[in-house]
């Protein structure tokens, strides 16, 4: 336990400085260019030994596991339509894997069509041997001898495994990676035609929880200017800070544990007097991402864009009041 606490302290100390990575970004990287987030090995995971692996799901989505070297993939919009807004995209996967396409690159390319710069975050995930990856995330499977029970959510914390030290450690590392990504984008804002005051996080599932973690942290240059959580409840107690950014949530109505967690997150933002909008879609359970279902949930992207427009996050800087 002492070793874990030491490693967590190292992560939090390292994230206070700007992590530029080992390579200097070009003025305009080609689409999909991956930039390292930390110089050398990421702090706290130097002793991880399992190699990163990529598999492809039946739907064609790349699933990445055992991430120990976090990166940020750059997707910049056509300069003719760029509006200065940027989003860090954090895919989901229960902190165990990352769905890099349905909750990553496809989202980035859609945002690019709206003039928004997008960056797909490959954050650190739990180290696990190949044979262990089929296990359901904690709280998501049926317990032996009975039906599943919804979490009793307190302080808007919907973490299904709060006592799992390894997952807690990875969660802190993933938040540190997201903060490093925010710093990297802000550090290159001028070169990439980005407004440093309009950089947010779009997180899916556990990636939403990672995004919430950055919003709840102390105000720094690694704080998001807006937060979008797609079926991603908070994985920690929520004490909404004064600097909390505007929040957008979309979730299925019957997503076990997650629906209630997202509702609790919305309620916490609302109670703190912070801007928040939530959409709960009928006939939808688990994550939908960019995959069409022939249901109203397919319109979540339109609702998100309308929200961005209403919050004046899509207007070029020169036309803003």
Structural domains in the chain, CATH included, are 2-16+30-131+153-316 (3.40.50.1820)
Give the number of other CB atoms < 10 A from CB of residue 57.
11
- Nearest in space to 110 (alpha carbons), one of 75, 79, 80: 75
Question: What is the per-residue pLDDT for 24?
Answer: 55
Q: Residue 256: CB partners within 8 Å, gap ≥ 6?
A: 139, 140, 148, 150, 285, 286
Residue with tokens 């989901």: 92
Place of tokens 């954050």: 123
pLDDT of residue 25: 64
Report the first-to-last Cα separation within the chain, whole angstroms: 52
Give the mean pLDDT of 172-180.
Answer: 98
Q: For the whole model, what pTM was predicted? A: 0.89
The pLDDT score that the predictor gives to residue 141 is: 39
Nearest CA to 257 among 224, 287, 296, 277?
287
Phi, psi of 177 (to 5 degrees): -65, -40
- What is the per-residue pLDDT for 143? 43
Give CA torsion, residues 76, 81, 83, 89, to 10 deg. Answer: -30
The C-alpha atoms of residue 107 and residue 119 are separated, in whole angstroms, by 10
Please write the tens of the pLDDT for every residue from 97-136.
999 999 999 999 999 999 999 999 999 999 998 766 544 4
| 13-17, 101-105, 137-141, 147-151, range with greatest mean pLDDT | 101-105
The phi and psi torsions of 119 (rounded to 5 degrees) equal -140, 115
pLDDT of residue 318: 57
Sheet holding 86-90, edge to edge: 33-36, 71-75, 117-122, 86-90, 199-204, 227-230, 247-252, 276-281
> pLDDT, tens digit, for every residue of 70-86?
999 999 999 999 999 99
Render the burial of 88-120: b for 16+ CB within 10 Å, e for the rest. bbbbbbbbbbbbbbbbbbbbbbbbbebbbbbbb
Q: Are 73 and 149 in contact (CB under 8 A)?
A: no
Cα(99)–Cα(122) distance, integer angstroms: 10
β-pair type (53-56, 62-65): antiparallel
């Amino acid at each position: 336990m002492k070793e874990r606490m030491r490693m967590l302290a190292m992560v939090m100390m390292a994230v206070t400085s700007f992590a530029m990575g080992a390579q200097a970004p070009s003025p305009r990287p080609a689409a999909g260019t991956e930039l390292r987030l930390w110089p050398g090995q990421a702090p706290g995971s130097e002793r991880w030994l399992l190699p990163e692996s990529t598999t492809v799901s039946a739907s064609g989505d790349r699933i990445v596991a055992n991430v120990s070297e976090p990166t940020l993939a750059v997707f910049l919009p056509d300069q003719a339509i760029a509006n200065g807004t940027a989003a860090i995209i954090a895919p989901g996967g229960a902190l165990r894997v990352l769905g890099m396409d349905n909750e990553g690159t496809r989202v980035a390319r859609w945002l690019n069509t709206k003039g928004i710069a997008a960056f797909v975050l490959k954050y650190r995930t739990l180290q696990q041997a190949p044979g262990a990856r089929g296990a359901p995330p904690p709280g998501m499977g049926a317990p032996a001898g009975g039906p599943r029970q919804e979490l009793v959510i307190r302080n808007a914390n919907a973490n299904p495994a709060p006592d799992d030290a390894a997952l807690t450690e990875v969660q802190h590392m993933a938040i540190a990676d997201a903060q490093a990504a925010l710093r990297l984008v802000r550090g290159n804002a001028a070169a990439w035609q980005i407004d440093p005051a309009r950089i947010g996080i779009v997180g899916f599932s556990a990636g939403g929880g990672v995004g919430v973690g950055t919003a709840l942290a102390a105000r720094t240059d690694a704080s998001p200017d807006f937060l979008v959580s797609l079926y991603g409840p908070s994985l920690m107690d929520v004490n909404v800070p004064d600097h909390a950014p505007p929040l957008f949530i979309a979730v299925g109505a019957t997503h076990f544990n997650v629906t209630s967690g997202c509702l609790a997150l919305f309620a916490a933002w609302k109670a703190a007097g912070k801007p928040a909008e939530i959409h709960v879609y009928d006939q939808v359970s688990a994550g939908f991402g960019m995959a069409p279902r022939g249901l109203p949930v397919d319109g979540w992207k339109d609702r998100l864009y309308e929200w961005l427009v209403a919050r004046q996050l899509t207007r070029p800087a020169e036309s803003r009041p």
